Amino acid sequence: MGLSETYRRIAQQYFPNAMIVADRFHVVRLVNQHFLKLWQQYDPEGRKNRGLLSLMRRHHWKLSAVQKENLRQYLAQEPVLKALYFAKQQLNGFLVMKSLTRKRAQKMMPQLLSLIEQFEQSPARALAQTLRAWLEPIVRMWRFTKSNGITEGFHNKMEMLSRRAYGFRNFENYRMRVLAQCGWNGVINRI
């Protein structure tokens, strides 16, 4: 699931034995949003540079040599931002790991906790608090590869239907459109 405390409470209430696994996309997005907010505080003008914004959003391992050099030159002027950027990259490196064995996950855990402690001692305290609150579901991402991407896709289709129709007055019409758009098998089950 995404990092919603409301959803977590509902899942815990109605499915007490379920293991909650954080959705990788939402966790990485949260980390990036916190970093971009901190960047805005440290360098509001640099944040407006679209080319620089593109470099800061990407994973460091996906940048070309020229892009890395441009980013290095910019970060050399901002030491605090440089430290935050590389800590964010290290954290994202942990977050994108998949299908780890139990032993490997146990070996990675102290490194992740150490990184979260570094964030607690930095301007990224709010991020560290969120990561601590969701630590178990986040660590479960390493072992389980499932995501809620399918649900997100259906939700996106439903939103688009509603926007195109400027809303629906009749819920049954909306329901039928959603079923047709999302792969209805032709059978209507009344619950």
Q: What is the pLDDT along the chain (191 residues), one digit of tens a residue?
A: 888 899 899 999 999 999 999 999 899 999 999 999 999 998 888 888 888 989 898 888 899 999 999 999 999 998 889 999 999 999 999 998 888 888 998 999 999 999 999 999 989 999 999 999 999 999 999 888 777 778 888 888 888 888 887 777 888 888 888 888 877 776 666 65
Rounded Cα distance between 95 and 112, Å, is: 9
- pLDDT value at position 127? 94
By three-state DSSP, how is residue 20 classified? Answer: coil
Query: pLDDT (tens digit, 9 = 90+) per residue, 58-78?
Result: 888 899 999 999 999 999 998
Distances from the Cα of 31 to the Cα of 4, 21, 51, 125, angstroms: 15, 17, 20, 12
Query: Tell me, what amino acid is at 63?
Result: L
**Residue whose pair of structure tokens reads 């960047």 in the numeric block:** 39
Distances from the Cα of 152 to the Cα of 74, 117, 121, 147, 155, angstroms: 36, 32, 34, 9, 5
The domain limits of the chain are: 5-143, 149-181
User: For the whole prediction, is pTM greater than 0.85?
Assistant: no
Cβ proximity of 140 and 97 under 8 Å: no
- pLDDT value at position 188? 62
- pLDDT value at position 177? 83
